[in-house]
Structure 1
Amino acid sequence: MSRPPDTSGVADELRRRLGLFDAVVIGLGSMIGAGIFAALAPAAHAAGSGLLLGLAVAAVVAYCNAISSARLAALYPASGGTYVYGRMRLGDFWGYLAGWGFVVGKTASCAAMALTIGFYAWPAHAHAVAVAAVVALTAVNYAGIQKSAWLTRAIVAVVLAVLTAVVVAAFTSGTAVAERLDIGADASIGGVLQAAGLLFFAFAGYARIATMGEEVRDPTRTIPRAIPLALAITLAVYAIVAVAAITVLGPQRLAQATAPLSEAVQVAGVHWLEPVVRVGAAVAALGALLALILGVSRTTLAMARDHHLPHALAAVHPKFKVPHRAELAVGAVVAVLAATADVRGAIGFSSFGVLVYYTIANASAFTLGPGEGRPPRLIPVVGAIGCVVLAFALPLSSVISGAAVLGIGIAAYGVRRVITRRTRQAGSGDSQQRAHPPESG
Structure 2
Amino acid sequence: MTEQGGLRRTLGVGDAVVVGLGSMVGAGIFTALSPAARAAGSWLLVALGVAGVVAYCNATSSARLAAVYPASGGTYVYGRERLGEFWGYLAGWAFVVGKTASCAAMALTVGAYVWPGRERAVAVAAVLVLTALGYRGVTKSVRVTRVIVAVVLAVLAAVVVACLGGGGGTAGREPGAGVAAVGVLEAAGLLFFAFAGYARIATLGEEVRDPARTIPRAIPVALGVTLVVYAAVAAAVLSVLGAGGLAAAGAPLVEAVRAAGSGWLAPVVRVGAAVAALGSLLALLLGVSRTTLAMARDGNLPRPLAAVHPRFQVPHRAELAVAAVVAVVAATVDLRGAIGFSSFGVLLYYAIANASAWTLDRSAAARVLPGAGLLGCLVLAFTLPAASVVAGAGVVVVGALIHAVRRTLVT
Coarse TM-score class (shorter-chain normalised):
over 0.9
Q: Which aligned segments of 4 or more residues in structure 1 are displaced greater than 6 angstroms? A: 317-321
> Which of the residues 219, 232, 235 maps onto 1:240?
232
RMSD of Structure 2 on Structure 1 (CA): 2.6
Query: Which amino acid in structure 2 is aligned with residue 41 of structure 1?
Result: S
CA separation in 2, counterparts of 1:28 and 1:181?
32
What per-residue deviation string (whole Å, max 9, x for no partner) do you get for residues 135-183 of structure 1?
3333444555864433322221111111111100111111267xx697x
Matched residue, 1:40 = 33
- Corresponding residue of 2:381: 391
Deviates more, 1:97-106 or 1:224-233: 224-233
The farther-off stretch of 380-389 and 31-40 is: 31-40
Q: Supply the distance in 1 between the matched residues of 2:255 and 2:88 (Cα, whole angstroms).
A: 43
After superposition, the C-alpha distances for 1:175-225 in whole angstroms (9 at most, x for unaligned) are 267xx697x534321111011011011111111222343333433232222
Q: Partner residue of 1:428?
A: none
Say if 2:2 and 2:8, in contact at 8 Å, map to a contact too: no
Partner of 1:75: 68
Larger Rg: 1
Whichever residue aligns with residue 127 of structure 1, its letter is R
In structure 2, the partner of 1:223 is 215
For the pair 1:95 / 2:85, whether they are aligned, the reply is no
Q: Return the offset for 1:51.
A: 1.1
In structure 2, do the counterparts of structure 1 residues 78 and 297 end up closer, same or farther at CA, with 3 Å as the change threshold? farther
Distance in 1 between the 2:329 and 2:7 partners?
28
Q: Do the aligned residues in 2 keep the contact of 1:48 with 1:187 (CA within 8 Å)? A: yes
Which letter maps to 1:401? Answer: A
Residue number in structure 2 paired with 1:426 = none
Quick check: 2:169–2:242 contact (8 Å CA) kept in 1? no
Output the CA distance in 2 between the equivalents of 1:136 and 1:19.
Answer: 32
Q: CA deviation at 1:281?
A: 1.1
Q: Which residue of 1 aligns with 2:393?
A: 403
Alignment deviations for residues 221-267 of structure 1 (CA, whole Å, 9 cap, x no partner): 32222221111111011000000011111111111111111111111
1:114 alignment partner in structure 2: 107
Selected match of 1:263 from 245, 255, 259: 255
Stretch moving more, 241-250 or 135-144:
135-144
Tell me the equivalent position of 1:165: 158
Cα deviation, residue 342, structure 1: 1.5
Paired with 1:79 and 1:171, the residues of 2 have a C-alpha distance of 43
What is the alpha-carbon distance in structure 2 between the residues aligned to residue 15 and residue 122 of structure 1?
41
1:432 equivalent in structure 2: none
Cα distance in 1, alignment partners of residues 315 and 187 from structure 2: 35
Fraction of identical pairs, as percent:
69
User: Which residue is 1:424 aligned to?
Assistant: none
Alignment of structure 1 residues 138-217 onto 2, 5 Å: 138-142=131-135, 147-175=140-168, 184-217=176-209
Separation in 2 of the partners of 1:108 and 1:375? 36
Find 1:306's aligned residue among 294, 298, 306: 298
Tell me the matched-pair count: 410
Q: Which moved more, 1:69-78 or 1:103-112?
A: 69-78
- Going from structure 1 to structure 2, the CA distance change for 1:335 and 1:291 (only over 3 Å counts) comes to same
Task: State how far apart, in whole Å, the 1-side matches of 2:224 and 2:256 are.
Answer: 25
- Are 2:169 and 2:259, in contact at CA under 8 Å, matched by a contact in 1? no
Q: What's the secondary structure of 2:337's corresponding residue?
A: helix
Task: Give distance in 2, aligned partners of 1:209 and 1:290.
Answer: 16
> Would the aligned equivalents of 1:145 and 1:322 in 2 still touch at CA under 8 Å?
no
What are the equivalent positions in structure 2 for 1:263-412 lying under 5 Å apart?
Answer: 263-315=255-307, 323-369=315-361, 376-412=366-402
Indicate whether 1:63 and 2:53 are aligned: no
Counterpart amino acid of residue 222 in structure 2: A
SS in 1 for 2:300: coil
SS of the aligned residue for 1:308 comes to: coil
Provide the secondary structure at the position in 2 that maps to 1:376: helix
CA distance in 1, matches of 2:282, 2:167: 37
TM-score by length of 1: 0.86
Deviation by residue 1:319-341 (Cα, 9 ceiling, x = unmatched):
87654543343233223322332
Deviation at 1:124, TM superposition (A): 4.0
The one-letter code of the counterpart of 2:367 is R
State the shift of 1:283 in Å.
1.1
Q: Bigger CA drift: 288-297 or 212-221? A: 212-221
TM-score w.r.t. structure 2 length?
0.92
Deviation per CA, 1:20-40, whole angstroms, max 9, x where unpaired?
Answer: 333322322222223211100
Which residue, out of 390, 403, 408, partners 1:418? 408
Corresponding residue to 1:123 among 111, 116, 119: 116
Amino acid at match of 2:297: R
State the AA in 2 paired with 1:280. G
Identify the range of structure 1 (306-315 vs 102-111) with the bigger mean alpha-carbon deviation. Answer: 306-315
Give runs of aligned pairs for residues 15-26 of structure 1, distance below 5 A.
15-26=8-19
Using a 3 Å threshold, how does the CA distance of structure 1 residues 233 and 181 change in structure 2: closer, same or farther?
farther
